[in-house]
Structure 1
Amino acid sequence: MRLATVNHNGTALLVAAIHDERLLNLRQASKNAGHDSAVFDSMQTLIDAGERGLALARALVSSPQQSATIAQADVTFLPPIMPVQYRDCLVFEDHLTNCFKVMEATTGRTHEVPDVWYQQPIYYKGNRMSFIGHGTDVQWPNYAEHLDIELELAIVVGKTGKNITKEDGINHIFGYTILNDVSARDAQMAEMPGQLGPCKGKDFDTGNILGPYILTADEVPHPVALNMEARVNGERWGGGNSSQMQHDFGAILAHISASETIYAGEVIGSGTVGTGCGLELGKRLADGDHFELEIEKIGILANRIVKGA
């Protein structure tokens, strides 16, 4: 299933994608069928319901009630979930080495991938309050000149756990979604020598984009191998495949959960796929640019960036 959170006539609804560009209002469909509709109050309540909630959703989607469907054109997409915690990794080697080449050309200093990057997933905790959804404008931060997209695959954690093994990691994944970690490169480059962060290179309102759908984990085998592509104003910038991750999501969950509880409803990004951002390609965003990030089986996450709003 592909699940989303949308605004329809001023109300946030949990929906499932069905045929003919229509969405199924899961709460309404459940109520019509005489089931517990509270399971579908939000993406978080569905996650918390576990397999019982997913089984009910699958049953409703398999025989969608026409009276509970909504045209996709009549909604605006919200982030499919507002994460209870947000972490972002850096696990695509091509992205890292491509960025190092750009930095070497700019500074004259050589950079090598550190051994620790191969030994364990590297990640940071980001701003979970700054997420927007598909179709919402990104507001250009007033302290930056160089803005960039980042094409990432993200997981939504479906089961709380601690000291998760790599092999058991798949049982803690609710689903997969698209993440655009919009970055202020000039701010990022200025602050990173301080050995903390990223800070204002990543932290600004509307700087994190998620969606449009969450593809439930049962739809793809793990480790995932999904094609990924980034386009700006209709021009292909780059992309790759999620199979190129140095550390898969099982390994990521095992590392992060070591002596630390991971909670259902957290979002964890893969980091940018190789050539999935402008920095690697000598490109940067301009005011009014439209960008589309597409991942196989999930959909297209499309937004615009604007100055002076």
Structure 2
Amino acid sequence: MKLVTFTASGGEERVGALTDDDTRVVDLAAADDQPYFATMLALIETGDPAVARAKEIAAAGLVTVALDDVQLLTPVPQPPQIRDFLCFERHLINANAMLRKKRAQAEPDPEEALKRFEAEGMFAIPQIWYDQPLFYKPSRLSVIGTGVDVVRPFFSELLDYEMEFGCWLGKQGKDIDPKDATDMIFGYSIFNDISARDTQSREMPAGFGPGKGKDFDTGNIIGPCIVTADAFDPYDAEMIVRINGEERSRGNSGEMYHKFEDCIAHTSRAETVFPGEFFASGTVGWGCGLEHDKYLSDGDVIELEVTGIGVLKNKLVKQ
């Protein structure tokens, strides 16, 4: 089942389910005025009973509206928490290779410098990345959905997209065993982690996280829906990037080195995690402009597609 948050005719936020090959939306609260249909977070917190009732309503085709007549919002406008992991080794290999190349180009003999940097292990993946999942916390207060413009922050010339997806936690837990972590997952959405690469490159040497390289309004895009866990295989989905309609890259979610279960188990060590938290996968290999040395221009339309979830589509505009 695909669940959405939407507005119709500029009205209040509603929770719905996609039907008829994703062409229509069922207004769940209009069909059954239950408290758990008031918001997506309430639905997630209620869990199986709410999903079961939503499936009944969707199957009956009650209170539907055409998808073209509504505006989809990000599924959970202010998630309780967002954690963005680095789960794809190929992305790190590619990104680090590009960083070495750029550093070498600033040397008198770029070819010799590149060989030297590689021999020295410059920008090599640290062992801790293989030992455990690593994450940072994006701003949960700057989340937008599909169809909303991304506003370029005035301080960045090298703005980048990042092709990711993530899972929504559906239960509370602590010290979770990896074998029990699958049962913690409510569903999945696409994530575009917009990054100011020039700002990020200045901040990261301090060793204190990306800061303003990641945090700015419209910088976190989640959507277009939540696919419930029973309807999606998170480790066999194509992840496709298109810029202005042209395919830029294609990867597969099965390439994740750390699985979501590993991320949940690691995060919950001595820490309680809660329903509605969003755990992002990190960028799939070749899934960002940094890896291609191609950055976004104002007016570009970014489409991120994950088969089985849908397409997250946004346009970059100048502030």
Distance 1:188 1:225 in 2: 31
Distance 2:4 2:316 in 1: 22
**Correspondence for 2:210:** 198
Amino acid at match of 1:229: I
**Correspondence for 1:75:** 70
Which stretch of the first structure deviates more once superposed, 19-28 or 175-184? 19-28
Distance 2:58 2:235 in 1: 24
Distance 1:276 1:118 in 2: 20
Q: Equivalent residues in 2 for 1:2-17 (5 A)?
A: 2-9=2-9, 10-17=11-18
Q: Equivalent residues in 2 for 1:258-277 (5 A)?
A: 258-277=269-288
**Correspondence for 1:92:** 88
Q: Equivalent residues in 2 for 1:137-156 (5 A)?
A: 137-156=149-168
**Correspondence for 1:58:** 55
Amino acid at match of 1:11: E
Q: Structure 2, unaligned stretches of length 5 or more?
A: 105-116
Q: Could you report, residue by residue, the CA deviation over 1:274-309 in whole angstroms, capped at 9, with x for unpaired residues?
A: 01101101110000100100001100000001003x
TM-score by length of 2: 0.92
User: How far is 1:64 from its partner?
Assistant: 1.2
Q: Equivalent residues in 2 for 1:279-298 (5 A)?
A: 279-298=290-309
Distance 1:12 1:174 in 2: 21
Q: Secondary structure at the match of 1:168?
A: helix
User: How far is 1:220 from its partner?
Assistant: 2.6
Distance 1:244 1:180 in 2: 18
**Correspondence for 2:107:** none
Distance 1:198 1:270 in 2: 17
**Correspondence for 1:19:** 20
**Correspondence for 1:101:** 97
User: How far is 1:247 from its partner?
Assistant: 0.6
Q: Equivalent residues in 2 for 1:228-247 (5 A)?
A: 228-247=239-258
User: How far is 1:153 from its partner?
Assistant: 1.1
**Correspondence for 2:312:** 301
Q: Equivalent residues in 2 for 1:123-142 (5 A)?
A: 123-142=135-154
**Correspondence for 2:172:** 160
Distance 2:235 2:143 in 1: 24
Q: Equivalent residues in 2 for 1:171-190 (5 A)?
A: 171-190=183-202
Distance 1:152 1:126 in 2: 13
User: How far is 1:112 from its partner?
Assistant: 1.1
Distance 2:15 2:235 in 1: 25
Distance 2:224 2:55 in 1: 19
Amino acid at match of 1:220: F
Q: Could you report, residue by residue, the CA deviation over 1:178-232 in whole angstroms, capped at 9, with x for unpaired residues?
A: 00000000000110000011111100000000000110001134x5221110110
Do structure 1's residue 257 and structure 2's residue 259 form an aligned pair? Answer: no
Distance 1:186 1:111 in 2: 17
Amino acid at match of 1:41: A
Distance 1:235 1:147 in 2: 18
Q: Secondary structure at the match of 2:178?
A: coil
Highest Rg: 1 or 2?
2
Amino acid at match of 1:215: V
Cα root mean square deviation, aligned = 1.0
Pick the aligned partner of 1:213 from 213, 220, 225.
225
Amino acid at match of 2:130: Y
User: How far is 1:271 from its partner?
Assistant: 0.2
Q: Secondary structure at the match of 1:57?
A: helix
Distance 1:86 1:200 in 2: 16
Distance 1:48 1:111 in 2: 41
Distance 1:290 1:208 in 2: 16
Amino acid at match of 1:14: V
User: How far is 1:239 from its partner?
Assistant: 2.4
User: How far is 1:147 from its partner?
Assistant: 0.4
TM-score by length of 1: 0.95
Distance 1:220 1:288 in 2: 33
Amino acid at match of 1:213: C
Report runs of 4+ in structure 1 exceeding 6 Å deviation: none
Amino acid at match of 1:198: P
